[in-house]
Amino acid sequence: MDMSSNFIKTIMEEDLASGKVKEIITRFPPEPNAYLHIGHARAIITNFELAKMFGGKTNLRFDDTNPVKEDAMFVEAIKGDIEWLGYHPANVLFGSDYFEESYERAIMLIKKGLAYVCDLNAEDMSKYRGTLNTRGTDSPNRNRSVEENLKLFSEMRDGKYNDGEKTLRAKIDMASPNINMRDPVIYRIIHINHHNTGNKWCIYPMYDFAHPLQDAIEGISHSLCSLEYVDHRVLYDWFVEKCEMPHIPHQYEFGRLNITNTIMSKRYLKQLVDAKLVKGYDDPRMPTLVGLRRRGYTPSAIRHFVLSTGLSRINSTVSNEMLENSLRDDLRLVNKRVNAILNPLKVVITNYPVGEIEYLELPNNNENEALGTRTIAFGREVYIEKDDFIDGTPEKGWKRLAKGLEVRLMHAYFVKCEDIIYNPDGSIKELHCTYDPETKSGSGFNARKPNGNIHFVEESTAIPAKFNLFEPLMVDSDADRKLEDRLNPNSWKTLEGFVEASLKDTLPEEKFQFVRNGYFSVDYDTVKGNLVFNRTVELKSSYK
């Protein structure tokens, strides 16, 4: 979207111009039954950005009309996620705030002969409903008198009946080609404690009935939702009209956002958590906002990503590459670029004085001077990446270290590998190198060229750290396959290595670019002396 043009914005402009609406008021209506994921971010961003664009406002309204699945814990989590994304609701409201008013409107429908109490159980009701090809059958209770309906409905409220024993249904059209219009249930009986209203109610309005009334009461001008509600729109309009709501809101649908190699449905996310296939809702591999945050995603990267996917009337699946790129764009110039060795190999520089350490000053980000400088240590023993050394004769074009080759340790000196020291088991213990004092970085030395530039961390000042590296959670995007079969067994790998001393006081959620290794964020598991980093994304797209 960039929000500069999209079909909903056009509708809003026209509605304002024609005087159909005076102010743009939108709402985001999550059910407090799960953590938000990046698909929800599209709904949040769309609602808030559009309202903001027209000087309007956006409510956060918890759709808490189904107490069976809801939990107050999710209310707080969702509020936190929205604030984190950078949005501040004009009002925080609850569907349950309107229970009394919905009840009054239901009575109005009964009095108008437009609603009746039905005794069919769930199974029979679905039989009576008919199919796409066959019309429905009238409930035996469809023609109850207004008086009887009023009495029964009031008894339902008073708790005289058990769960499922009776429902209140709108009396619309059992022959409608739109199944939503075949006398939909508008109230059901559930004897359960509600997180807001406690035991005050044992009848709860259905979403399709409650939602349009809530929108009308709040003065919502444009009620935006995802595509699956298209066929509910006539019902939405029917309730607004028949309940004689003084304000008339309108519903508009947009396509859902999906991302490749992940799953975005609440049901599946819950399954992953419950089966302990991930470490929780904030597992850094999860597409939840708390997971993305822990992984190192910034709110602005998510906003830019969502805006760049546009808004259309069809569901779309977007490559996770796009999401990764938006993080790189966001952090490239603002992160410090520091040294970390993820997979260490020790190097002893045999001709460097024992016990001596020198400090080299370097920019925090060579593309952004404003970030200042810091010093890193150099000494007789350093760590390099295992991958930067090859034991044996390297292939042509090898730009790193091997026995007999010379490379530059970035910002320090040229070192040449003289010897490989092995452990008894045949693995490499350390490399013995010599350095050339003439080659100090910045000295202007140009008598010969090194075989490459590699980074390092000095041994005595190095801080041990763990690095969590991720791959997509799912091997494919095929939602029809079994969850267990789609899990990527390599989605989480932890390496143990070192970071440079300047990182000793870092705090959770601080972000860095590790030279040659990617963008990393400090994990919540970090405590002093035990640093844990999550790799948010690699430096370059790994797209194949």
Interface of this chain with ligand ATP, residues 216 to 245, rule: CB under 6 A = 225-226
Toward ligand ATP, which CB reaches closer, 257 or 342? 257
Residue 178 tokens read as 């739109």
Residue 132 tokens read as 């796409």
Rounded-to-integer distance, Cα 118 and Cα 201, Å: 19
Strand partners, 376: 360
Among candidate residues 38, 41, 30, the one with its CA nearest the CA of residue 473: 38
Q: Which of 169, 266, 285, 328 is catalytic?
A: 266
Q: Which of 31, 101, 321, 358 is catalytic?
A: 31
29 binds ligand ATP (CB under 6 A): yes
Toward ligand ATP, which CB reaches closer, 144 or 211? 211
Range list of β-strands (E), 404-529: 406-409, 414-422, 428-436, 453-454, 457-458, 463-470, 492-499, 511-514, 518-522
Among candidate residues 274, 300, 273, the one with its CA nearest the CA of residue 287: 273
Question: What's the DSSP call for residue 530?
Answer: B
Q: How far is the CB of 277 from ligand ATP (least distance, A)?
A: 18
Q: Say whether 312 sits in a helix, a strand or coil.
A: coil
Rounded-to-integer distance, Cα 254 and Cα 247, Å: 23
Is 266 among the catalytic positions?
yes
Toward ligand ATP, which CB reaches closer, 82 or 338? 82
Q: How far is the CB of 324 from ligand ATP (least distance, A)?
A: 19
Question: What's the DSSP call for residue 75?
Answer: H
303 binds ligand ATP (CB under 6 A): no
Strand partners, 92: 60
- Which position among 8, 9, 25, 30 is part of the footprint of ligand ATP (CB under 6 A)? 30
Site for ligand ATP (CB under 6 A): how many residues?
14
Toward ligand ATP, which CB reaches closer, 312 or 460? 312
| Piece in contact with ligand ATP (CB under 6 A), picked from 26-34, 237-245, 331-339, 446-454 | 26-34
Q: How far is the CB of 97 from ligand ATP (least distance, A)?
A: 17
Rounded-to-integer distance, Cα 34 and Cα 509, Å: 23
Q: Say whether 167 sits in a helix, a strand or coil.
A: strand
266 binds ligand ATP (CB under 6 A): yes
306 binds ligand ATP (CB under 6 A): no
Toward ligand ATP, which CB reaches closer, 78 or 170? 78
Angle at 427 between CA 418 and CA 424, to 5 degrees: 100
The gap from C-alpha 513 to its chain's centroid, in whole angstroms, comes to 22
Q: Say whether 271 sits in a helix, a strand or coil.
A: helix
Half-sphere exposure of 515 (CA within 13 A, CB side): 23
Angle, nearest 10°, between helix axes 72-85 and 38-53? Answer: 60
Neighbours of 528 (CB within 10 A): 9
Q: How far is the CB of 131 from ligand ATP (least distance, A)?
A: 23
31 binds ligand ATP (CB under 6 A): yes
- Which position among 265, 300, 319, 368 is part of the footprint of ligand ATP (CB under 6 A)? 265
Is 400 among the catalytic positions?
no
256 binds ligand ATP (CB under 6 A): yes
Q: Say whether 474 sits in a helix, a strand or coil.
A: strand
Kindly list the distances between the CA atom of residue 511 and the CA atoms of 86, 362, 457, 535, in Å, as whole numbers in the listed order.
18, 19, 19, 10
| Piece in contact with ligand ATP (CB under 6 A), picked from 25-33, 114-122, 481-489, 504-512 | 25-33
Residue 387 tokens read as 């991958």
Q: How far is the CB of 446 from ligand ATP (least distance, A)?
A: 56
Among candidate residues 68, 67, 61, 74, the one with its CA nearest the CA of residue 33: 74
Q: How far is the CB of 243 from ligand ATP (least distance, A)?
A: 21
- Which position among 8, 24, 25, 43 is part of the footprint of ligand ATP (CB under 6 A)? 43
Rounded-to-integer distance, Cα 360 and Cα 362, Å: 6
Q: Which of 105, 233, 256, 285 is catalytic?
A: 256
Toward ligand ATP, which CB reaches closer, 57 or 336? 57
Is 31 among the catalytic positions?
yes
Angle, nearest 10°, between helix axes 99-111 and 146-157? Answer: 160
Toward ligand ATP, which CB reaches closer, 31 or 71? 31
| Piece in contact with ligand ATP (CB under 6 A), picked from 232-240, 258-266, 395-403, 505-513 | 258-266
Q: How far is the CB of 12 from ligand ATP (least distance, A)?
A: 17
Strand partners, 542: none
Interface of this chain with ligand ATP, residues 407 to 466, rule: CB under 6 A = none
Q: How far is the CB of 29 from ligand ATP (least distance, A)?
A: 6
Q: How far is the CB of 15 from ligand ATP (least distance, A)?
A: 20
264 binds ligand ATP (CB under 6 A): yes
| Piece in contact with ligand ATP (CB under 6 A), picked from 109-117, 257-265, 275-283, 390-398 | 257-265
Give the burial class of 485: count Cβ atoms within 10 A of its Cβ; 0-12 exposed, 13-18 middle, 19 or more buried. Answer: exposed
Amino acid at 404: G
| Piece in contact with ligand ATP (CB under 6 A), picked from 7-15, 112-120, 185-193, 256-264 | 256-264
- Which position among 24, 210, 220, 257 is part of the footprint of ligand ATP (CB under 6 A)? 257
292 binds ligand ATP (CB under 6 A): no
260 binds ligand ATP (CB under 6 A): no
Rounded-to-integer distance, Cα 298 and Cα 327, Å: 7
Q: How far is the CB of 274 from ligand ATP (least distance, A)?
A: 15
Give the residue at shortest CB distance from ligand ATP: 39
Toward ligand ATP, which CB reaches closer, 33 or 521? 33
Toward ligand ATP, which CB reaches closer, 61 or 486? 61
How many residues are there in the chain? 544
Contact (Cβ atoms closer than 8 angstroms) between residue 287 and residue 37: yes
Q: Which residues bind ligand ATP (CB under 6 A)?
A: 29-31, 39-40, 42-43, 225-226, 256-257, 264-266
The residues assigned a catalytic role are 31, 256, 266
